[in-house]
A and B are shown apart, each in its own frame.
Chain A
Amino acid sequence: MPLDVQTLLKRFREGDRVALSRVISLVENDHPSSPVILDTLYPFTGKALRVGVTGPPGAGKSTLVDHVAARMRTDSQKVGIVAVDPTSPFSGGALLGDRVRMSSVNLDDGVFIRSMASRGSSGGLAWKTFEVCEVLDAFGVDRIIVETVGVGQGELEIADEAHSTVVVLVPESGDGVQAMKAGLMEIGDIFVINKSDRESADTARRMLDSALELKPVKNGWRPPVLSTVALKGEGVEELHRKIEEHLRLLVTSGSIQHRRMEGVRAKIVEILRNRIIQSAWERNKLGRLIDAEVVSVMAGGSTPYKSAAEILRKTGQ
């Protein structure tokens, strides 16, 4: 049976969760229908507020997300959760286990959880996370929580995608230092020390507090440091309160609107850049020219720099 995108989108607009799930797959897989889907859904986006949650593996992010989502539900908000785990560089496969930690909301029809593998993306975010968020937004969720794993440069992308970024750390030795090195201090709007019933929690908190003092107050927001014990649900209420407070500030200050405008610009630029490169590539049969130059470089007859210049000359650029 061939895919009928229009029927699928109709079901999507009627609130059919199976349709939502299929649409996410089409977008995630970059199916040929993906541009049409995103184009059709665009007018319905712009309502959901996005919260990014990041931090080192084993910090308890998923369990916190589970609690925060459950708390959002008590305000009758619909919640979409995107849980990103890395793709194995060896096999291209992935083991996505975050759902296990989200057992309190996994049967709630006001919550939609989607696990994503990072696939080709170099960073912690999956390569189509932004588009999947757009789909969830168009479906009518009020909040989208994007969870990414690891401490590495990749996680910094999350700050571009999310409106409010929560950085989750544990009081283990060195975690704080790691976080600073990795630039997490720059991106966090809210910092959480989870498992704060451990002995070293106070030390970690002090370290974090003093590091954050150096950080300038941005748009009237000083990032708070919160303590939680995710397994017991302790500190969740406060975390939720701070998230909502920050989101409210972003809305009232017009910052979300500004971010959206920037996002639109970036999107247009990205699409144009891809299209222009693609059409120039095909028009000039660049692939073949490159192949020929590679042979020439390997034979000692040229250098990569000379070859690139040669290709540009031949194509009249």
Chain B
Amino acid sequence: MERKVRVLVAKPGLDGHDRGAKVVASALRDAGMEVIYTGLHQTPEMIVEAAVQEDVDVVGLSILSGAHMTLLPRVVQLLREKGVDDVLVVGGGIIPEADAEELASAGIARIFGPGCPTSEIASYIKDWFETSERAGV
């Protein structure tokens, strides 16, 4: 049986805009992935704990509150503290280009902004997964 890609879709921050997160979660399911949805108002600690327990390959973070520069790097940092350094962390939401560049250096591989097709997100994940260490296990 083909190894399923497991993705955590989470909403850090206090905002309740979950339209994008839900659309992406549904689209990734329809692209054949196993999507664990953690719901709203998650702290970085909650997200990382869920990522560990679910042993996901990818963590997708959706945020529209403007707190991305604080919360997204914190997720990566906490993952590394737990010794998890082989998962892909990506983000989406209202995040200006300049911020996205800074986030990239903090370990958030890619920011998918407004208007980005879900198919692009799915193929980005699939491409990453094929060459990742996690593909074999």
Contacts and interface: CB of A to CB of B under 8 A. Distances in A.
Interface of A: 1, 3, 17-18, 21-22, 24-26, 29-31, 87-88, 90-97, 99-100, 103, 106-107, 112-115, 117, 119-120
B30 interface: yes
A93 B30 contact: yes
Q: Which 4 A-B pairs have the closest CB atoms?
A: A100-B39, A93-B29, A21-B55, A25-B55
A116 to B, nearest CB: 9
B26 interface: yes
28 contacts: A3-B136, A17-B52, A17-B53, A18-B83, A21-B52, A21-B55, A22-B137, A24-B55, A25-B55, A88-B30, A91-B31, A92-B2, A92-B32, A93-B29, A93-B30, A93-B31, A95-B25, A95-B26, A97-B39, A99-B50, A100-B39, A103-B39, A106-B49, A107-B46, A114-B54, A115-B36, A117-B34, A119-B4
B98 interface: no
Given A18-B82, A117-B34, A25 B137 contact: yes
A107 B29 contact: no
A200 to B, nearest CB: 29
Nearest to A30: B1
B52 A99 contact: no
Nearest to A92: B32
B45 interface: yes
Contacts of B34: 87, 93-94, 96, 115, 117
Contacts of A93: 4, 28-35
Q: Is the interface of B mostly helix, strand, loop or mixed?
A: mixed
Interface string B48-88: 01101111000000000000000000000000001110000
Contacts of A91: 29-32
Contacts of B37: 95-97, 99-100
B19 interface: no
Given A29-B3, A92-B4, A107-B46, A21 B25 contact: no
B45 A107 contact: yes
Given A22-B55, A100-B38, A106 B33 contact: no
Contacts of B6: 25
B15 interface: no
A117 B5 CA distance: 12
Contacts of A94: 29, 34-35
